[in-house]
Amino acid sequence: QLSLPSSTEEKEVLVLVEPEDFLKRLLSLTQSFVNAPSASQPDLNQVLPLADVEGSSTKTYSLAIIRLDAYRCNQEHSRQQALSPGKQSSSSQPGPELCMTQEEILEVLVVLQLWGNIEVLFLDTWQEFGQHVSALTKAIAKRPYKRQLESQELPFCTAGAWASRVRMEKDSTGLRQVWKRQIQQFNRVSPATAAAIAEAYPSPSLLLQAYEECSTEDEKRLLLSDIPVKLDVSSKDHRVGPDLSRRIYLFMVSTDPDLILDLST
């Protein structure tokens, strides 16, 4: 008898909100600040379209708004046309939500982030939205596999072969490939980036020697940042960047087992 794998409902919820609806919800939340006590928690139910759904309190929300700036510009243009001679009407006045300044919108976004851990994504095209949904779905699908790997003790150390089938021979053949794969274990590191670092410093010991030759901490942290990364034949060179350079440096030299390398997690 075949047993079906158990399914678990994820906590992440991505909500697509129309620009007009989004601005109205922000305005409603802003107006609630006026009469609320200074130390009270804001009512975020006014912003979340699904806040009244059962189990919503355990969810982590992300709001996606497409072409907000274009919507505001179009509404302002329509209002200016309506105010032109011979076209003035009572409907030419903009809604109060369109009168919100950029500073007011940013203030509400800070409240959403701090009080509700709600991320707001401003996208320019539907293609960007589709790409974000694809990336989010892929990350969630990989999560059980990553959890399984993290539960194993040193999963990259196996007898005779590495976890990704990099063969370790007695003459040390394959060490450079293992070093490259080890670099790839850092978050947001592509194979091309790992290959570029391994090309510049073919082994961990050579990288440590390079750190010792640096005269300042800043120089050590930025040692790898300017290494060029070739993504493909036709693309321009990218760089490793200061964030990854800092994380690798801390990983190589720190003796603190509880040190958080990736500040974005």
Query: Closest Cα partner for 247 from 260, 256, 257, 237?
Result: 260
Entry pTM: 0.47
Looking at per-residue confidence, does 145 or 154 come out higher? Answer: 145
Number of domains in the chain: 2
- pLDDT of 80 over the 80 cut: no
| DSSP characters over 86-127 | T---GGGSPPGGGG--HHHHHHHHHHHHHHH--EEEEESSHH
54 vs 60: CA distance, rounded Å: 14
Output the DSSP codes for 39-59: TSPP-GGGT-TTTTSTTGGG-
Question: Is 148 a domain residue?
Answer: no
Cα(66)–Cα(16) distance, rounded to whole angstroms? Answer: 8
Residue 219's CATH number? 1.10.150.670
Of 84, 104, 135, at which residue does a domain stop?
135
Long-range contacts of 203-206 (CB under 8 A, 24+ apart): 203/175, 203/176, 203/179, 204/179, 204/252
Do residue 127 and residue 186 come from a single domain? Answer: no
Beta bridge partners of 123: 66
Q: With beta carbons less than 8 A apart as the criterion, state whether 166 and 177 touch.
A: yes
In DSSP terms, 13 is beta-bridged to 61
Please check whether residues 122 and 188 belong to one and the same domain.
Answer: no
Q: Residue 175: name the closest of 156, 202, 193 by CA.
A: 202
**Owning domain of residue 197:** 154-253
15-29, 72-86, 125-139: range with lowest mean pLDDT: 72-86
Note whether 118 and 176 are same-domain residues. no
Same domain for 222 and 160, yes or no, is yes
Segment holding 15, helix H or strand E: strand 12-16
Could you report the per-residue pLDDT of 27-72, keeping only the tens digit for each? 888 877 766 666 666 667 666 665 554 555 677 888 899 998 888 8
pLDDT, tens only, 197-255: 999 998 899 999 999 999 999 999 999 999 988 876 555 668 888 999 999 999 988 88
Q: What is the pLDDT of residue 27?
A: 84
Instruction: Kindly state the helix (H) or strand (E) to which residue 24 belongs, with its residue range.
Output: helix 19-35
Q: Could you tell me if residue 141 is inside a domain?
A: no
- Average pLDDT value over all residues in the chain: 77
Q: Which of 109, 106, 19, 102 is nearest to 67 (CA)?
A: 19
- What CATH number should be reported for the domain holding residue 56? 3.40.50
H or E element: which one contains 16?
strand 12-16
Distance in angstroms (rounded) separating the CA atoms of residues 55 and 155: 36
pLDDT value of position 238: 83
**4 belongs to a structural domain:** no
Q: Is residue 159 part of a domain?
A: yes
Residue 200: closest CA among 137, 138, 245, 252: 245
Could you give the CA distance from residue 37 to residue 98 in angstroms, rounded to a whole number? 26
